[in-house]
Amino acid sequence: MNALPNKSRRAVPVWVTLSAALVLLGLGQSAQAGLMTRDVNVTLNAGNIESYSLDVNLDGITDFTFTAALLLDPIVSVGFDVVDFPFGGNNGVVIDTPTINGFPTASRLAVGDTVSAANIFSFASFDQGNLFFFTTFDPPSGNFEGRTGYLGLRFDGPGGILYGFAQVTVNALDASDNPLGLTIGTVGFETEPGQPVQITAVPEPASLTLVGIGGIGLLAARRWRKRNRIPSASP
């Protein structure tokens, strides 16, 4: 094998190796096989009684409908944040326990929890998922008032049942701005039918920064290699 010219023996700068490592590290922190996520970032005004139709996998079919409502009256007040499901399907949310009143309490899940067939789900189109509910005559119920958490989702996809999650925030009843307002943040699902999904947060800015810095470094490295014209070894 012919020896390479002295010029080609220049050591690759340390920053080239570090740049590649940063890119791989950033991608490793932000990617998960089979998981698709996106930001919805929709806020409903409860005082206006607003609803939002969520198409989780963007196939043109509404999978869940969220509603926020608040009516304050000297005689009877009522407020609720709920999620409804299409009639006749398998769609539902993870619940604390089954009920016979059609209004089970939706579980407030966290990052790291798994959504799968092993969870307890609402009874398809015959239930509503209760995020929060109160009336003048009924005590408050639900896990989301004044909190942020994740809903575990089950819904019909093109190839079968899919599992996913949605980040949900419900404002406090006594909030000065948009009381009981409902915000839908990150939504994710497992693309393989029947497969469980682990709730994960959107890649943190730090991870994205690593990818960006690494990308800039690799671009500079490419220019360095071109300038130094490192030839390929020949037999």
DSSP string, 136-174: TTEEEE-S-BTEEEEEEEEEEETTEEEEEEEEEEE--TT
- Residue 73 Rama label (left phi>0; alpha psi -120 to 50; beta): beta
Q: Do 81 and 103 share a structural domain?
A: yes
Predicted local distance difference test score (pLDDT) of residue 224: 54
The reply to whether 220 falls in a domain is yes
Structural domain that includes position 215: 6-31+204-228
How many residues can be counted in the chain?
A: 235
Predicted local distance difference test score (pLDDT) of residue 123: 80
Q: Do 148 and 64 share a structural domain?
A: yes
CB distance 162 to 89 below 8 Å: no
The reply to whether 161 falls in a domain is yes
Q: Do 220 and 168 share a structural domain?
A: no
pLDDT tens digits for 149-166?
999 999 999 999 999 999
pLDDT tens digits for 108-136?
999 999 999 999 999 866 678 999 999 99
Check pLDDT > 70 for residue 2.
no
Q: Do 43 and 87 share a structural domain?
A: yes
Percent of the chain past pLDDT 90, that is, above it, reads 60
The reply to whether the predicted model has a pTM over 0.85 is no
Q: Do 185 and 136 share a structural domain?
A: yes
Predicted local distance difference test score (pLDDT) of residue 207: 41
Q: Do 76 and 134 share a structural domain?
A: yes
Please enumerate in sequence order all residues whose Cβ is within 8 A of that of 168, keeping only pairs 6 or more positions apart, or say none: 66, 131, 144, 148, 149, 150, 151, 182, 183, 184, 185
Q: Do 215 and 132 share a structural domain?
A: no
Q: Which two structure tokens, joined as six digits, stand for 222?
A: 């490419």
Task: Calculate the alpha carbon distances from 77 to 57, 74, 130, 134 in Å.
Answer: 36, 7, 17, 8
Predicted local distance difference test score (pLDDT) of residue 155: 96
Between CA 31 and CA 65 the distance in angstroms is: 28
Q: Do 179 and 78 share a structural domain?
A: yes
